[in-house]
Structure 1
Amino acid sequence: MSITIKDVAKKTGVSITTVSQILNGKGQRFSEKTREKVWSAAEELNYKANYFAQNMVTKQTQTIGVIIPDITNTFYSDMIKGIEDYLYENGFMVLLCNSTDNEERENLYLNQLVHRSVDGFIIASSTISDEMIFDLLKKNDKPYILLDRKREEHESDNIIVDDTEGGYVATEHLITLGHRNIGVITSSSSDVNVHNRFVGYKKCMEDYGLLMKEEWIMRETLSMSGGYEAAKKLLQADVSAIFATSDQLAIGVYRAASEVGVCIPEQLSLIGYDDIELASYMSPPLTTIHQPIYEIGKLAAETLIHRIMNPEEAAKNHLVKTRLVVRSSTKVL
């Protein structure tokens, strides 16, 4: 038979109401001695709170809904680790939804998570519309954090990576090495952050007065296979360097180059973006743009919990900077 609040109250000699309030985090008005007595008795009896009853009292489920577009992408798995570690330390659980970049699936998950009364959302997707987020989450009074989405007319906290600057720095690195014919592999979907990296590439090429041929611009899925397919075409074009707007894409370039006997970096300089763990283990190690992926996840979780606890504070944009990590996949032309 399961232990109830009544059993804890009987053991401690205090009222059921007192036990309930202390165990549900609302016992500040009671003395420290009483609180300690209740918690000690609960632990000794191995009392486990009734999840649904506790939810009725606190109006919280201690769960956070997280929506990502592709769990197979190492970037998102590293980010989720940062989110989960912070939430675990603060008594929250993660309900993770992997949308596979499917808008219908994302909308379904958003509605279902609201129905399950999660306390807040971390949304790392550019497919869900601003109107959908605003209408559904605001209507249900659900705080949320947007990753790599500009906060415009709707008030919400946002974690923004300076991807335009990162794309610019990646391209400029290749230019300073003497490269002029620089191919780029970007996303074929609506990813805002990856698009901004491409914007940085274009701006840098324009600032240096360099030509950008249409056949140097490849749009593929953000995956190793996407990088592989794009590189097969770029290696037939007159490029001496490639900027892959994610490390996943860059890894695909390694395979394509190897198959046709093109040596990196002797015959082709390659730079990626993200600095996932695998980047430093490639042969040669991949030059890339580092963004603190784990820390971004942790910051998103920390910001959301702060928002849940302080709902009246003004929304903020948190800008995350990137940096160039030079390894061995780029060299002077």
Structure 2
Amino acid sequence: MPKSEPLYKQIYATLKKQILTGLFPYNSRLPSEKELSIQFNVSRITSKRALNELAKDGYIERFAGKGSFVVFKKLLKEQTFSVSLLLPFFKNAGLEQYIQGVSDFLKPLPFELTIHTTQKDSQKQRELIQSLSKETSDGLILYPEFPKPLLDLVYTLYLDDFPIVLLDKDLFDLPIPVVSSANRTGGYEATIHALEQGHRKILFFSLASFFKTSAVKNRYLGYLKALHEYSIRPTLTLDKSVYSLNMNQPELIQQFLEETKQQGYTCIFVEHDILAMELISTASNMGWSIPEDMSFIGFDDVLLSHLITPKLTTIKQDFYRIGYTAAEMLVAMITEPESIHSLSSIEIPVELISRDSVKNKKR
């Protein structure tokens, strides 16, 4: 279990796995509050809370003077479930950590995980989802790289009560749970950091449409909130329509940077690290000194972000915990079918990582 989880939740998750895998079968007695407090080196209050949560969620019943007994019997130990994880790449901006988190949660459970990668091919993504049904799979964890072509397929699966959990972004507000980072909080914290360093002309930069990508939209909304608290009016970000259609991306980025500097901006908050590093590389090739001529903030905290020069200030996403939580949610949907349409989306906390790419203008 991720170390940042409260202790009672770690105990809850451990006991829940043991119940699901049959280590504690139906009608068996769980360890007492005292035994759990010794086993996990916690207070009895903490172990009691874990047991109370299991009782509240229908896994056990507690009887005064007798103990806690397993009442959950829908998942049989000998039954094996098949679930799919669908990603655009195996290794890209933390996606391998999604895989690790999903795998670690499912490892002790009777679940077989199949990992598919679409290599950013929208037709392949569609074909893979089209092959899924209750006859071929028990559930799906999906990173919706190309939302538009998936709407009909995913919504049909949802209407068929097929368990689905989305990673990172929603699909046109479909009532399907999403496990994502706290993107709005991240956008806010990144912008507040720039403001606290003395920057007042800060631009949000994204090549993705705010209206198509909920993660980017929420980062932008966090940026707007921070500016509002400092009584700063925002300026619209890059609009590709005002640039020549013949421009390739490097040319577009170079012209954008030139105009940004001419307009007096001193800091650019970029939608994700890879794009931020592309901007820094282009700016360096233009002869700029970073962060003296321009400051940059990214989002993700990919490995390269602290290997480049200057090291990138960014918002760290906990990709492992997102994957782990998504798997936990999917198992709940599969083992408790009545919960499919009632589970809520979950946001995983983010963390500002301050490095060298933001100039302190107060010095």
Specify if TM > 0.5.
yes
The answer as to whether partners of 2:86 and 2:118 remain within 8 angstroms in 1 is yes
Unaligned runs of 5+ in 1: 1-23, 30-56, 221-225
1:259 corresponds to: 285
- Aligned match of 1:209 in 209, 215, 231? 231
1:233 maps to 2:255 = yes
Deviations 1:278-306 (A, max 9, x none): 22222222111112111111111122112
Shift of 1:207: 4.0
Deviations 1:211-265 (A, max 9, x none): 4444x53669xxxxx9856542332022211111111111212211221121222
- Aligned match of 2:165 in 103, 128, 145? 145
Shift of 1:65: 1.5
Distance 1:296 1:88 in 2: 16
Distance 1:291 1:144 in 2: 22
2:213 corresponds to: 191
Identical counterparts, % of pairs: 28
Shift of 1:167: 1.0
The answer as to whether partners of 2:85 and 2:141 remain within 8 angstroms in 1 is yes
The answer as to whether partners of 1:164 and 1:200 remain within 8 angstroms in 2 is yes
Distance 1:265 1:240 in 2: 9
Structure 2 length-normalised TM? 0.65
Distance 1:210 1:233, change over 3 A: farther
Distance 1:252 1:159, change over 3 A: same
Structure 1 length-normalised TM? 0.70
1:324 corresponds to: 352
Distance 1:115 1:230 in 2: 46
Shift of 1:159: 1.5
Unaligned runs of 5+ in 2: 1-20, 27-75, 242-247
Q: Alignment partner of 1:180: what SS?
A: coil
Further displaced range: 287-296 or 308-317: 308-317
Length, aligned pairs only? 274
1:110 maps to 2:132 = no
1:12 corresponds to: none
2:181 corresponds to: 161
1:119 maps to 2:138 = yes
- Aligned match of 1:309 in 335, 347, 350? 335
Q: Alignment partner of 1:79: what SS?
A: helix
Higher helix share: 1
Distance 1:201 1:153 in 2: 22
1:63 maps to 2:82 = yes
Q: How does 1:79-94 map to 2 (within 5 A)?
A: 79-94=98-113
Distance 2:87 2:182 in 1: 20
Larger Rg: 1
The answer as to whether partners of 1:227 and 1:251 remain within 8 angstroms in 2 is no
Shift of 1:142: 1.9
Further displaced range: 228-237 or 75-84: 228-237
Deviations 1:117-155 (A, max 9, x none): 11111122160555532322431x421112244599865
The answer as to whether partners of 2:314 and 2:353 remain within 8 angstroms in 1 is yes
Q: Alignment partner of 1:274: what SS?
A: coil
Distance 1:332 1:231, change over 3 A: farther
1:133 maps to 2:154 = yes
Distance 2:167 2:319 in 1: 12
